[in-house]
């Protein structure tokens, strides 16, 4: 058969048509597999199997098309078919091709649209998979606890964290923070996807089993790009030798990844912060409880962590890690939950100084000192020196990188703050705190639309992240004044999640919390009180805060006697608190409102000025605006309207979008005492700061 006859025969036997139709339908099935299967969490191997079967099926389809023909009487061999039997179906294959092509194009466009939306939800940042991922990069997933005693979960987590901490000192490696890796399973099915999300080439999986004084640690290092094992090893040791196991594993990982080690880095990998295994075990217990406290801000978790750190120090007074852990735990509580007394802060200063004297090159000691300067005394320049030193000693320390970003934010260096935070995100891509606070910078700059992407990203990682929820709500409320839209942020949040904070705010909304304050904006004061009570919890500080909230709400609803009654109950509690801790600016702000309820306007104004003077904007560009706003509120209620309006006018001209906006001024009943003044009304038609580019 010559070529012309062959091509004619291929056409007569519909081989061309089958090839085209198969290609179109195959492409359609490929789009379904790649675009639809992930939605139902169907594993990637199924997608690969579908593509492979389509490739294998192509020549089979062509052979069948050559040999057989479909007729009204059924399937017949092509040699036995009359040409007239197939002519009526000449156009059918065209319809198949057209329908298949349309569906394929539709799914292709849908897939590209979904990727685009996903990138938007990621804050405009492309997924790590599209970036250049360093070959010398690693994420250590949570180690599986194989011990019969499930209480040993702290031990498995602790060993994993200690290995990670040692590797963080190696500049030639990219090491992902524990905050990001903690969100994954010990042995995920989709390892390649996990690696892409974290931006690493290699993954370390492990399991720990402890029986009495015997410990077994199994680890395997995996090349996630090729889904192949680089090495795997088991370590059977006595409990007293667990510190050596952590060091050995870290060293073998560095060697497997061909990391270039300086003499200092080699020493850091081999160094032990204590030689007492019992002290180390108590430290690991403390770390386990600290991470709970860090996530929940629960007082009992702080107490348990504190107890374990103290026990570790009792066994080994020279334990650097236990001393640093104790300082960090107490300062976290001081900043977010309950302020320490001056003498308590001085005790922490002594611990920090003694720790650094014993270990001047310890990144843990320098980090503790940096946090002490930041959270203890807001000495941001001193804190920055310490965090810089931490990053010299431990280049992969994502927390130190974050703190640098927060410092530049408080110094009003907004663009630099964003750059630093983005660098921290590279080392900790799954920590929701980072995009949540990044969005907070956009709120301060009144870049309302830019806030949505990072806050949605934070809430996607942690649906109940209170920082993201509060800042996202503030962005919607302050940007548009749309209360309904702002309220949607908290849909699905448990009622007990607290939205008021003591750490950096000094106005009425800080005392009440933004979720109850949404009721205030709608002048539903009774509902606001009930919402607040659900959040408040039970403690002496919470009791005083409930009474203060009652006083403020009664003032705004013009119930002066009820406000006075609540104020009389709150007064002794808050005055005792301020006597005990004269630098507690949150208690001072509360007491200023209580004095207004009691008719002591001069005392209220004095305290509000004291708080604002203690937190000037040039000292803290973020917190300072809240206290200036708080002072303006007190001025509005104590017969100083001109001062209040002047202060508000200044706040509207600078990056203060978290604390004040024109939309909020129009709604908030806190400004009712001066609402009808012409100078206040003039503010409502003014122009706020545009943002970063102005």
Supply the Cα-derived Rg of the chain in whole angstroms: 32
Q: How far apart are CA 194 and CA 589, in angstroms?
A: 46
Average pLDDT (39-55) is: 60
Find the distance separating the first CA and the last CA of the chain, reported in whole Å: 79
Give 215-267 pLDDT, tens digit per residue: 999 999 999 988 888 989 999 999 888 889 999 999 999 999 999 999 999 98
DSSP-derived letter for residue 33 is: I
Location of structure tokens 């600290």: 290
The pLDDT score that the predictor gives to residue 190 is 87
Q: Are 198 and 174 in contact (CB under 8 A)?
A: no
Spatial neighbors of 317 by CB under 8 A, at least 6 apart, are none
* Residue 456 belongs to a domain: no
Residue of 363, 357, 172, 366 lying closest to 268 (CA atoms) = 363
Cα dihedral across residues 306, 311, 314, 320: positive or negative: negative
Q: Are 212 and 198 in contact (CB under 8 A)?
A: no
Q: How far apart are CA 439 and CA 418, in angstroms?
A: 10
pLDDT at 499 over 80: no
Average pLDDT (7-33) is: 64
Q: Are 146 and 209 in contact (CB under 8 A)?
A: yes
Residue of 231, 206, 207, 235 lying closest to 221 (CA atoms) = 231
pLDDT at 120 over 60: no
Q: Which has more pLDDT, 369 or 685?
A: 369
DSSP-derived letter for residue 316 is: -
pLDDT at 129 over 50: no
Spatial neighbors of 590 by CB under 8 A, at least 6 apart, are 511, 544, 545, 548, 570, 574
pLDDT at 321 over 70: yes
Q: Are 222 and 203 in contact (CB under 8 A)?
A: yes
Q: Which two tokens stand for residue 632?
A: 């303006």
- Indicate the residue among 217, 252, 271 that finishes a domain: 271
Q: Are residues 566 and 673 in the same domain?
A: yes
Q: How far apart are CA 434 and CA 677, in angstroms?
A: 41
The pLDDT score that the predictor gives to residue 56 is 79
Strands 202-211 and 228-238: unpaired
Q: Are residues 544 and 614 in the same domain?
A: yes
What is 85-125 written as a DSSP string?
A: HHHTTTTHHHHHHHHHHHHHHHHHHHHHHHHHHHHHHTTTP
* Residue 473 belongs to a domain: no
Q: Are 552 and 508 in contact (CB under 8 A)?
A: yes
- Percentage of residues of the chain with pLDDT beyond 70: 80
Spatial neighbors of 536 by CB under 8 A, at least 6 apart, are 498, 542, 545, 546
Give 300-310 pLDDT, tens digit per residue: 999 999 999 99
- Percentage of residues of the chain with pLDDT beyond 90: 65
Q: How confident is the model at residue 114 (pLDDT cuts 50, 70, 90)?
A: very low
The pLDDT score that the predictor gives to residue 124 is 40
Range of the domain at 633: 495-683
DSSP-derived letter for residue 489 is: G
The pLDDT score that the predictor gives to residue 542 is 81
Bridge partners, 144 (sequence order): 207
Burial class (CB in 10 A: 0-12, 13-18, 19+), 23: middle
What is the reported pTM?
0.76
Give 664-675 pLDDT, tens digit per residue: 999 999 999 999
* Residue 412 belongs to a domain: no
Q: Are residues 249 and 289 in the same domain?
A: no
Bridge partners, 145 (sequence order): 208
Q: Are residues 527 and 538 in the same domain?
A: yes
Q: Which two tokens stand for residue 72?
A: 């009204």
- Indicate the residue among 57, 90, 121 that finishes a domain: 121
Helix and strand tally (H, E) in the chain?
A: 34, 8
429-433, 581-585, 626-630: which is most confident:
626-630
* Residue 653 belongs to a domain: yes
Residue of 613, 632, 612, 609 lying closest to 679 (CA atoms) = 632
Q: Are residues 610 and 620 in the same domain?
A: yes
Q: Are 235 and 249 in contact (CB under 8 A)?
A: yes
The pLDDT score that the predictor gives to residue 67 is 64
Q: How confident is the model at residue 115 (pLDDT cuts 50, 70, 90)?
A: very low
Q: Are residues 608 and 539 in the same domain?
A: yes
- In this structure, the number of other CB atoms found within 10 A of the CB of residue 83 comes to 8
Q: How far apart are CA 620 and CA 375, in angstroms?
A: 12
Q: Are residues 597 and 646 in the same domain?
A: yes
Q: How far apart are CA 367 and CA 327, in angstroms?
A: 10
273-277, 325-329, 412-416: range with lowest mean pLDDT:
273-277
Q: How confident is the model at residue 102 (pLDDT cuts 50, 70, 90)?
A: low
Residue of 221, 228, 226, 229 lying closest to 255 (CA atoms) = 221
Residue of 223, 263, 205 lying closest to 136 (CA atoms) = 223
Backbone angles phi, psi at 33, to 5 degrees: -65, -45
Helix, strand, or coil (residue 208): strand
Q: How confident is the model at residue 69 (pLDDT cuts 50, 70, 90)?
A: low
Give 346-359 pLDDT, tens digit per residue: 999 999 999 999 99
Residue of 96, 94, 103 lying closest to 27 (CA atoms) = 103
Average pLDDT (455-480) is: 92
Helix (H) or strand (E) holding 234: strand 228-238
* Residue 455 belongs to a domain: no
The pLDDT score that the predictor gives to residue 250 is 93
CATH (domain of 360):
1.25.40.10
Q: Are residues 281 and 381 in the same domain?
A: yes
Spatial neighbors of 363 by CB under 8 A, at least 6 apart, are 169, 389, 390, 393, 394, 397, 400
Q: How confident is the model at residue 492 (pLDDT cuts 50, 70, 90)?
A: confident
The pLDDT score that the predictor gives to residue 130 is 41
Residue of 587, 662, 597, 585 lying closest to 626 (CA atoms) = 585
How many domains in the chain?
Answer: 4
Q: How confident is the model at residue 295 (pLDDT cuts 50, 70, 90)?
A: confident
Q: Which has more pLDDT, 276 or 131?
A: 276
Location of structure tokens 């978290």: 658
The pLDDT score that the predictor gives to residue 671 is 98
* Residue 542 belongs to a domain: yes
Spatial neighbors of 160 by CB under 8 A, at least 6 apart, are 140, 141, 142, 143, 178, 206
DSSP-derived letter for residue 35 is: I
Q: Are residues 517 and 630 in the same domain?
A: yes
State how far the alpha carbon of 441 is from the alpha carbons of 388, 412, 452, 510, 687, in Å.
Answer: 22, 10, 12, 18, 19
Residue of 208, 217, 234 lying closest to 148 (CA atoms) = 208
* Residue 560 belongs to a domain: yes
Give 374-416 pLDDT, tens digit per residue: 999 999 999 999 999 999 999 999 999 999 999 999 999 999 9
Average pLDDT (463-490) is: 93
Q: How confident is the model at residue 200 (pLDDT cuts 50, 70, 90)?
A: very high
Q: Are residues 142 and 238 in the same domain?
A: yes
pLDDT at 185 over 60: yes
Location of structure tokens 């706020």: 688
- In this structure, the number of other CB atoms found within 10 A of the CB of residue 185 comes to 12
- Indicate the residue among 207, 242, 271 that finishes a domain: 271
Q: Which has more pLDDT, 343 or 538?
A: 343
Residue of 452, 431, 428 lying closest to 440 (CA atoms) = 452
Q: Are residues 606 and 616 in the same domain?
A: yes
Q: Are 556 and 670 in contact (CB under 8 A)?
A: yes
Q: Which has more pLDDT, 658 or 148?
A: 658
Q: How confident is the model at residue 122 (pLDDT cuts 50, 70, 90)?
A: very low
Q: Are residues 102 and 185 in the same domain?
A: no
Task: Tell me what the pLDDT averaged over the chain comes to.
Answer: 85
Average pLDDT (498-516) is: 82
Q: Are 658 and 622 in contact (CB under 8 A)?
A: yes
Bridge partners, 167 (sequence order): none
CATH (domain of 224):
3.40.50.10070
Q: How far apart are CA 371 and CA 403, in angstroms?
A: 8
């Amino acid at each position: 058969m010559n070529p012309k006859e062959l091509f004619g025969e291929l056409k007569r036997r519909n081989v061309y048509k089958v090839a085209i139709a198969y290609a179109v339908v195959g492409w359609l099935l490929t789009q379904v597999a790649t675009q639809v299967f992930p939605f139902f969490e169907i594993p990637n191997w199924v997608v690969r199997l579908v593509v492979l079967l389509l490739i294998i099926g192509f020549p089979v389809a062509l052979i069948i098309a050559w040999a057989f023909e479909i007729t009204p009487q059924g399937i017949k061999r092509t040699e036995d078919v009359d040409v007239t039997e197939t002519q009526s179906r000449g156009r059918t294959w065209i319809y198949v091709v057209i329908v298949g092509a349309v569906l394929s194009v539709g799914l292709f466009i849908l897939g590209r649209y979904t990727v685009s939306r996903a990138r938007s939800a990621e804050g405009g940042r492309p997924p790590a998979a599209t970036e250049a991922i360093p070959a010398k990069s690693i994420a250590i997933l949570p180690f599986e606890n194989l011990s019969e005693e499930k209480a040993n979960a702290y031990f498995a987590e602790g060993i994993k964290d200690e290995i990670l901490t040692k590797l963080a000192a190696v500049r030639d490696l990219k090491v992902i923070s524990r905050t990001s890796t903690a969100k994954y399973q010990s042995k995920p099915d989709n390892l390649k996807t996990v690696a892409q999300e974290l931006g690493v080439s290699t993954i370390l999986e492990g399991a720990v089993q402890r029986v009495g004084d015997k410990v077994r640690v199994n680890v395997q290092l995996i090349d996630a790009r090729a889904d192949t094992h680089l090495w795997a090893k088991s370590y059977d040791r006595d409990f007293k030798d667990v510190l050596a196991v952590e060091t050995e594993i870290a060293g073998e990982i560095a060697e497997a990844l061909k990391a270039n080690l300086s003499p200092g880095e080699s020493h850091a990998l081999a160094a032990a912060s204590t030689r007492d295994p019992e002290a180390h075990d108590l430290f690991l217990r403390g770390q386990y409880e600290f991470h709970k406290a860090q996530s929940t801000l629960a007082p009992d978790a702080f107490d348990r962590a504190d107890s374990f750190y103290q026990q570790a120090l009792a066994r080994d007074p020279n334990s650097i890690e236990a001393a640093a852990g104790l300082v960090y735990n107490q300062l976290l509580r001081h900043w977010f939950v309950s302020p320490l007394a001056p003498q308590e802060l001085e005790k922490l200063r002594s611990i920090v100084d003694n720790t650094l004297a014993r270990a001047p090159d310890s990144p843990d000691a320098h980090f503790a000192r940096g946090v002490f300067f930041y959270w203890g005394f807001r000495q941001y320049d001193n804190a920055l020196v310490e965090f810089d030193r931490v990053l010299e000693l431990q280049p992969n320390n994502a927390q130190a990188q974050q703190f640098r970003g927060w410092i530049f934010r408080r110094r009003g260096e907004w663009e630099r703050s964003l750059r630093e935070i983005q660098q921290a995100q590279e080392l900790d891509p799954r920590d929701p705190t980072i995009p949540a606070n990044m969005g907070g910078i956009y709120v301060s700059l009144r870049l309302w639309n830019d806030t949505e992407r990072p806050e949605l990203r934070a809430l996607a990682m942690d649906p109940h992240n209170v920082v993201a929820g509060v800042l996202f709500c503030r962005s919607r409320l302050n940007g548009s004044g749309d209360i309904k839209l702002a309220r949607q942020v908290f849909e699905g949040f448990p009622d007990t999640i607290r939205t008021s904070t003591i750490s950096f705010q000094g106005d009425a909304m800080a005392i009440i919390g933004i979720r109850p304050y949404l009721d205030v904006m709608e002048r539903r004061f009774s509902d606001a009180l009930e919402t607040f009570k659900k959040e408040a919890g039970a403690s002496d500080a919470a009791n005083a805060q409930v009474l203060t909230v009652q006083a403020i709400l009664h003032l705004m609803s013009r119930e002066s006697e009820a406000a006075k009654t609540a104020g009389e109950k709150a007064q002794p509690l808050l005055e005792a608190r301020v006597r005990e801790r004269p630098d507690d600016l949150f208690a001072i702000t509360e007491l200023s409102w209580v004095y207004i309820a009691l008719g002591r306007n001069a005392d209220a104004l004095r305290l509000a000025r004291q708080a604002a003077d203690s937190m000037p904007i040039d000292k803290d560009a973020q917190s300072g605006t809240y206290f200036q706003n708080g002072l303006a509120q007190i001025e509005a209620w104590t017969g100083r309207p001109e001062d209040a309006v002047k202060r508000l006018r200044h706040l509207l001209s600078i990056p203060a979008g978290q604390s004040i906006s024109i939309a909020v001024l129009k709604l908030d009943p806190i400004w009712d005492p001066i609402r009808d003044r012409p100078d206040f009304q003039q503010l409502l038609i003014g122009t706020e700061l545009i943002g970063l580019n102005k």
